[in-house]
Chain A
């Protein structure tokens, strides 16, 4: 293929040469015709030199590539590592925007994330162009040069400029493009990692016997003001931070737990940033000593003040425990709160059976809660509650997440700077380098024959 194309170019050069002589010997005394003749002869000689030196030029390009220490495999590895980085950035940002499910956070934070995602798409497109350009030059640069040589040899300078530019461009890009990573690495800013630097505190809310407390409301107080309202999941889990909240760097909130209209003190009483010093992910279990509940939140038994509970056994449809109360406050009442979806069959206290009829009912966040009470006469009582759970309900409460305004501005600034770093390093710098290579190609093309060789033989 190469030899055939070189042969074609050589035949064209011979034709040009003979046409030049033909024009030169024409018996017409017009100077411009003679000048054209001599120009054609010079062109033919210069293109025949180019054709003869074709292998020399290609081997010279490879030699320069080696001397400069650049390597095409390094180039492709660099581009693919950047593509991997962009994809990881995509997944992190998509994950973060997936976490931001609450409308007032979305409106606040999704716009910088979308801006960065747009920047990343632009950077990815630029990298795809670089991959295409690299593989095109690597696979076809000798063909481009051959095409350039053929164009260069066409008589009457029809394709001389285009040919010279093709030859120059293929040489310059073959040698220069693998040096792009070095160029970009010299000037780029850090695009090491895309992450939301925010702490996350997660854990479970458990009652005195270690059972999870589902669908309960955690209220967070700063002084006397409620700053956050978090609903526990059906497994009793809660998450503070990491997309749900933008926590300030230093914070300390008092916790109280609310369930079926009762408010409980928790242990620990406070949740603070000291938990997470030097860590991004920390876990904290909040226990509620005054609360006994069953799986699925079918029953809630708030313990009388100053009493303790032992030998708790929670089975399906049955709770069994020993209640030790303070003898000074006897007789006392043991309350049992249960939602509409639960039916209490009977309560046994020290072998005495009670039907536990509701003494009152009230609405707690759209859940109809019944309350019954049992009179406790002895300071040590064995209590057994037999119940049926028909269905469970979630309180219709809108969570109130903590958004620290100082963190919002730093989050937006971080996102924008990450986006700009990507655009700068993966779009602006490669574009600048390509422009540099194109201008070098133009210069070399001019040297090769854009304005003819500076040789006069007549």
Chain B
């Protein structure tokens, strides 16, 4: 199906961009955190950028695994229940 292929391609691009942005956010975060500027709020922003980048990278790496897990659990639930035992 062309639409599915298109969306998959789009997803791949988004994943690639997401990885780049993670790297960018990581560097920007550390740059802000390590900047020789005595502004606490700036350092705090850098800190939160690094934290968010790490969490995002974690979910990005785990992405397909989460979907596989959901499918696995759902397919197990969806299986027909066994017939009741006969006396």
Q: Which residue numbers of A lie inside 8 Å of B, CB to CB?
A: 4, 7-8, 10-15, 17-19, 21-22, 24-27, 29, 34, 37, 41, 45, 48-49, 52-53, 55-56, 59, 458
- Compute how far the CA of A99 lies from the CA of B29 in the bound complex, rounded to whole angstroms: 94
Is chain B's binding surface mostly helix, strand, loop or mixed? helix
Closest to B41 in A: A29
CB within 8 A of B4: which of A7, A13, A45? Answer: A7
- Compute how far the CA of A337 lies from the CA of B18 in the bound complex, rounded to whole angstroms: 117
Known contacts A8-B1, A11-B4; decide if A17 and B63 are in contact (CB<8 Å): yes
Known contacts A15-B14, A18-B14, A24-B52; decide if A52 and B8 are in contact (CB<8 Å): no
Contact (Cβ within 8 A) A48 B70: yes
Q: Inside 8 A of B59's CB, which chain A residues have their CB?
A: 21, 24, 41
Contact (Cβ within 8 A) B22 A25: yes
Q: Inside 8 A of B25's CB, which chain A residues have their CB?
A: 25-27
Shortest Cβ gap from B30 to chain A (Å): 11
Contact (Cβ within 8 A) B49 A29: yes
Q: Inside 8 A of B45's CB, which chain A residues have their CB?
A: 29
Contact (Cβ within 8 A) B53 A25: yes
Contact (Cβ within 8 A) A18 B60: yes
Q: Inside 8 A of B77's CB, which chain A residues have their CB?
A: 53, 56
Closest to A10 in B: B67
Q: Inside 8 A of B35's CB, which chain A residues have their CB?
A: none
- Compute how far the CA of A122 lies from the CA of B22 in the bound complex, rounded to whole angstroms: 65
Q: Inside 8 A of B55's CB, which chain A residues have their CB?
A: 24, 458
Of residues B8, B45, B73, B74, which shows the largest number of chain A Cβ atoms within 10 Å of its Cβ? B74
Q: Inside 8 A of B11's CB, which chain A residues have their CB?
A: 11, 14-15, 18
CB within 8 A of B63: which of A7, A14, A37? Answer: A14
Contact (Cβ within 8 A) B4 A8: yes
Closest to B59 in A: A21
Q: Inside 8 A of B1's CB, which chain A residues have their CB?
A: 4, 7-8
Q: Inside 8 A of A22's CB, which chain B residues have their CB?
A: 14, 17-18, 21
- Compute how far the CA of A4 lies from the CA of B2 in the bound complex, rounded to whole angstroms: 11
A8-B1, A21-B60, A24-B59 given; 11 more Cβ-contact pairs under 8 Å? A4-B1, A18-B15, A22-B17, A22-B18, A25-B18, A25-B25, A25-B57, A25-B60, A26-B25, A53-B77, A59-B78
- Compute how far the CA of A53 lies from the CA of B17 in the bound complex, rounded to whole angstroms: 31
Q: Which residue numbers of B lie inside 8 Å of A, CB to CB?
A: 1, 3-4, 7-8, 10-11, 14-15, 17-18, 21-22, 24-25, 28-29, 45, 48-49, 52-53, 55-57, 59-60, 63-64, 66-67, 70-71, 73-75, 77-78
- Compute how far the CA of A17 lies from the CA of B65 in the bound complex, rounded to whole angstroms: 12
Closest to A153 in B: B7
Q: Inside 8 A of A53's CB, which chain B residues have their CB?
A: 74, 77-78
Shortest Cβ gap from A26 to chain B (Å): 6
Shortest Cβ gap from B40 to chain A (Å): 14
Known contacts A21-B60, A25-B57, A45-B70; decide if A8 and B7 are in contact (CB<8 Å): yes
Contact (Cβ within 8 A) A52 B74: yes
Closest to B60 in A: A21
Q: Inside 8 A of B63's CB, which chain A residues have their CB?
A: 14, 17-18, 21
Shortest Cβ gap from B59 to chain A (Å): 5
Q: Inside 8 A of A18's CB, which chain B residues have their CB?
A: 11, 14-15, 18, 60, 63
Q: Inside 8 A of A29's CB, which chain B residues have their CB?
A: 45, 48-49
CB within 8 A of B21: which of A12, A27, A55? Answer: A27
Of the A-B pairs whose beta carbons lie under 8 Å apart in the complex, a sample of 30, sorted by A's number, is A4-B4, A7-B4, A8-B3, A8-B4, A11-B7, A13-B67, A14-B7, A14-B67, A15-B14, A18-B18, A21-B63, A22-B14, A22-B18, A22-B21, A24-B52, A25-B18, A25-B21, A25-B22, A25-B25, A25-B52, A25-B57, A27-B25, A29-B48, A41-B59, A45-B70, A48-B66, A48-B67, A52-B70, A56-B77, A458-B55
